[in-house]
Amino acid sequence: MKKLILPAFLFASWMAFLQTDLPVKGKNFLPALGRFLSPFHGIWQNVTANPISFNIQGHTREGVKILFDERDVPHIYASNLADAMLAQGYLHAANRFFSMDLSSRSAAGRLSELFGTRTIEIDRKQRERGFEWSAIEKASHWESYPENKQIMDAYIDGIHLYTRSLSYKNWPLEYKVLSKPPVEWTAVHSALTLTNMAIALCLREDDLAYTHAQNQLSAEEFAFLFPDHNPLESPIVPRGTIWNFNPVYPGKGPSVISNGHLHPPLNDSRHEDLNGSNNWAVSGGKTKNGAPILANDPHLGLTLPNIWYEVEIHTPEMSVHGVSLPGLPLVVIGFNEDIAWGSTNSGQDVLDWYQITWQDSSRRQYLLGDQYTSSSLRPEVIQIRGQPSVIDTIRYTHWGPVSKSGPHKDMAMKWIGHQKATSNDVEYLQKINKARNLAEYRDAVAAFQYPAQNKVFASREGDIAISVAGVIPVRPSGLGERIADGSNPDLDWLGYIPIEHALHSINPERGYVSSANQAPAAPDYPYPQLGRRVFEDFRGRVVNQVLDSLNDITPRDMMALQDNSFNLHAAEVLPLMLDMIQQQNCLKEEDRPVFNRIRQWNFEYHRDSVAPVFFDLWYKNFEALVWDELDTLGIMYPEEWRLTEIVRDHADHSFFDIQDTRDAKETAADIACLSFSKMITQYHALPSLQQSSWGAYKQSVIPHLARFPLFGSDVLHTSGGRHIVNAMSKSHGPSWRMIVELSTPVKAWVNYPGGQSGHPASPHYRDMLEHYFEGAYYEVILRKDPASWSPLRQIHLTP
Amino acid sequence: MVTFTPNPSYTMNSTKGFIIPILAMVIAVGAAGYFGPWWGPAASLVIFNVLLGWNSKKSALFSGLILAVLYLGISLMMYTRDEAKIIHKTGALLGGMSALAMALVTVLTGAISGALAGWTGSVLGSMIRSSTASVVK
């Protein structure tokens, strides 16, 4: 017996060691090596993901055929919608389950369950904001719509069909690396998927920044730097539209603002990454073959795999093609046999912050009106991998959940995503997927909740339209751009803009509708428009100028417009800056070649051009020197169109005086010279590769979703950038490009940066990426008859 | 002059007596790995060594070798199919290991698991046999 002790102890210890995840440097983990390195089960089994054909039996009411084309885009042929949704759920899970899981965890504040202490602050913030709580409410709200519940249930059954078939051997790679099993998907996870999108698109937090700016600046200074409207703006609903209604809420109320004891915002609130999106539709009168054309390229953070999953669905009631959002059923942006539709973010401000006055340090009772009211408490358990859980209690007030820390400490958020819905999101998706004409599109749009979107439309009948869809609150005057006094119950939202007053444009005289996240209407629209400052107007103006100038339009013209890299901001401000250099006569002779190069530039942000590098560096220095006072005070920068105006019309304004040079009083021209000189120094300090071109300087990279190095793209040299129709920045840009010609049959040209599979070993993980950045499109025609084409592989679901 | 003439039947028998159990072990370990959990191969080696009655050194050596070679063979086979360089990328992610280092760690894991399983099985086997023998006496 004694002889056995040593080998048995060593063997058991070794196996226990192999079974255990190993902490590394306190924050990371090595997966348990036994199963991870097992050639039979572990990571070695993830080196191939060649798509194959197979049958699955016993889950559908009738048979479903899924045929895959050359890009691995599935074409689902089903006899009823529920079966089609089951198939879509299966496909989403089979190709993107880790993306779905991560997206829902990110919104819920459950990342630390996977990543340990590294993500605890993110989780804490998400819990404080009550996203999971509102997703639970949303999922339960969906239950009250029997028809849509049936669709959701079938979709989730499809997800389970895949996930429940998984053993460790065929877990997606990311789960093996993280050594955690895939989650059991529920409707709450689907609701969180939607919440995550809403967080990305409509969770502005500028109220604090604006309040801080107003506290620090005089009223005149604030009005000078932050005017409400750009006089050059080209709104979505054309100027001159007659508003033949009175607003149901007059919008008058008490002055609302709490100015006391506020922390300054932590960062400049300029939305560097929010490049926006574009969509437009041109009427048959402007196109070469007389059929309307619709184009859409929504800009989002780019990752591998891409946020979208392309799909085609055929049922007796619809044939639809487009992109879906894994985690939700149906097609989000796409076309069917009769219509096409697309979306851009409206950028409406649908989030307000209220300063809470607590009765005492227990933070249980808060002042509302003339009495103290109890907050409701929701305990939050944040499970942290490798560490004990953190238990937190979030307080919910009349306004919403209250932040416990950070700049919003003791402020409650009122957000559209937390409000009780009046319809449901699946209903909107169902209606728009099945819509046949303008009336059905309008009916679908009326069911849309949030985040507010500019929904563009074109039909084979010849109609074009755009609608600002989504519920948009009407507030007492002044509320929405500053922190409100949470003890004043009169500061609540008054209601929502009624659907009949919502902004839309149908078959306008100019022959096109468009949006690029700019202001939806001119200032004479009867309801206050908040949220304009998220996106500037340069792209919208370029799109409208190009569409105004074009006739006999072809799909190729629309491709060129989506790839347009002209920077209107540079075109407006750079000549002023160049003139100032010449007037000041401050140019050194050795810098003249650079100066000449900039002067000869055509304002195109082409990846092979070096002039955008000079402009980018020069402008950043110029702007920082002009706004040094604001930096000192921690105030956000004004919009860039406003700086152009100030340079043009107020070149001697005191804002141009540099604070650090007390004896001198600088003007805009002095700053132009100084920033030019700084630009030259910075340019020469760049690595030589980055000096060569805009693409090399920008170094675009599409990272892996969980930021696993090497699983993302290599460095890409891309054209485009901020304020440009082709809004490709470092890792943010057009996530899907679609052009649809509403001819008979409907034809489309599409592409997106990535590939259909979420498995890094798959040949379809990133097979469209290079084509995408070459500006290539894939032609798509609905393939209604499964017998009319030869798929590369197929999956059959039999009853 | 004395010449040594090997007995052909003896050599053949001893080779058979060695190769057959080895082959059987390879098949059983492979099956346990393919159909069972990740620890299936090690568990099957314990059982085999209980039954074989080899001494501890031999058990540890050959069990370690069998699992190492099996792991090496499958790893190499998967490596040749690894067009997307998944192993290289995963190795880099987990501390800068190359694909070769990943394969070496895999083989080492197999070798140690096999050797410890073989040793444990052999000792356990001899204990069982000796207790059975004492009962028979």
pLDDT in tens, A439-485: 999 999 999 988 899 999 999 999 999 999 999 999 887 788 788 99
What DSSP designation does A109 have?
T
CA–CA separation, A336 vs A184, rounded Å?
A: 33
Contact across the interface for B112 and A30, Cβ inside 8 Å: no
CA–CA separation, B106 vs A37, rounded Å?
A: 6
CA A285 to chain centre: 33
User: Token pair for residue A763?
Assistant: 């040949």
* Lowest mean per-residue pLDDT among A173-182, A528-537, A771-780, B43-52: A528-537
**CA atoms B29, B30, B36, B42: torsion sign:** positive
Candidate from B39, B81, B84 with C-beta closest to A15: B39
Contact across the interface for B38 and A760, Cβ inside 8 Å: no
Candidate from A11, A31, A41 with C-beta closest to B120: A11
* Lowest mean per-residue pLDDT among A708-722, A750-764, B4-18: B4-18
CA A387 to chain centre: 32
Closest residue in A to B94 (Cα) is A30
Predicted local confidence at residue A767, as pLDDT: 95
Predicted local confidence at residue A620, as pLDDT: 96
The amino acid present at B37, given as its one-letter code, is: P
Task: Give this complex's ipTM.
Answer: 0.89
User: Token pair for residue A142?
Assistant: 């969906």
Q: Which residue pairs, CB below 8 angstroms and at least 24 apart, start in B63-66? A: B63/B25, B63/B114, B63/B115, B63/B117, B63/B118, B63/B119, B63/B121, B64/B110, B64/B111, B64/B112, B64/B114, B64/B115, B64/B118, B65/B111, B65/B114, B66/B22, B66/B25, B66/B26, B66/B29, B66/B114
Across chain A, which distance is largest between two alpha carbons, in Å? 98
Chain B interface mutation, best of A37, A171, A762, highest count of B Cβ atoms under 10 Å: A37
Contact B64, B114 (CB under 8 A): yes
* Nearest alpha carbon to residue A609 among A714, A696, A480, A479: A696
Residue given tokens 């020069």 in the structure block? A618
* Nearest alpha carbon to residue A89 among A158, A182, A151: A158
Average pLDDT over residues A589-595: 96
Using the predicted structure, report yes or no on whether residue A252 has a pLDDT greater than 70.
Answer: no
Contact across the interface for A760 and B123, Cβ inside 8 Å: no
Contact across the interface for A760 and B83, Cβ inside 8 Å: no
**Residues across chain A:** 799
Contact A538, A641 (CB under 8 A): yes
Contact across the interface for B105 and A37, Cβ inside 8 Å: yes
A5 touches chain B (CB under 8 A): no
Which residues of chain A lie closer than 8 angstroms to B28, CB-CB? none
- Quote the pTM value: 0.94
In terms of Cβ atoms closer than 10 Å to its own Cβ (0-12, 13-18, 19+), residue A363 is middle
Using the predicted structure, report yes or no on whether residue A676 has a pLDDT greater than 90.
Answer: yes
Give the pLDDT band (50/70/90) at residue B13: low
Chain A interface mutation, best of B97, B109, B113, B128, highest count of A Cβ atoms under 10 Å: B109
Give the pLDDT band (50/70/90) at residue A273: low
Interacting residues of A315 by C-beta distance below 8 A, sequence separation 6+: A78, A79, A80, A81, A83, A84
Predicted local confidence at residue A269, as pLDDT: 44
Predicted local confidence at residue A58, as pLDDT: 84
DSSP 3-state of B83: coil
Return the exposure string of A578-591: e unless at least 16 CB atoms fall within 10 Å of the residue's CB, then b.
Answer: bebbeebebbeeeb
A178 to chain B, minimum CA–CA distance in Å?
A: 11
Helical pair A568-584 and A592-599, crossing angle rounded to 10 deg: 140
User: Token pair for residue A463?
Assistant: 């109609």
Using the predicted structure, report yes or no on whether residue B123 has a pLDDT greater than 70.
Answer: yes
pLDDT digits (tens, 9 = 90+) for A90-147: 999 999 999 999 999 999 999 999 999 999 999 999 999 999 999 999 999 988 898 8
Residue given tokens 């569409």 in the structure block? A547
**CA atoms A751, A752, A758, A763: torsion sign:** positive
Contact across the interface for A40 and B34, Cβ inside 8 Å: yes
Contact B99, B32 (CB under 8 A): no
The amino acid present at A466, given as its one-letter code, is: I
CA–CA separation, A601 vs A612, rounded Å?
A: 8
**Mean model confidence pLDDT for chain A:** 92
Closest residue in A to B101 (Cα) is A37
Give the pLDDT band (50/70/90) at residue B1: very low
Contact across the interface for B38 and A41, Cβ inside 8 Å: yes
Torsion of CA A156, A157, A158, A159, to 10 degrees: 50
Contact across the interface for B86 and A43, Cβ inside 8 Å: yes
Contact across the interface for B127 and A42, Cβ inside 8 Å: no
Phi-psi group of A327: left, alpha or beta (phi > 0 → left; psi -120 to 50 → alpha; rest → beta): left
Q: What is the DSSP string of A672-720?
A: HHHHHHHHHHHHHHS-HHHHS-HHHHH-B---BTT--TTSS---B----
Instruction: Provide the pairing of β-strand A484-485 with A371-374.
Output: unpaired
B105 touches chain A (CB under 8 A): yes
Contact across the interface for A15 and B56, Cβ inside 8 Å: no
Contact across the interface for A11 and B116, Cβ inside 8 Å: yes
B127 touches chain A (CB under 8 A): yes
Which residues of chain A lie closer than 8 angstroms to B78, CB-CB? 39, 44-45, 47-48
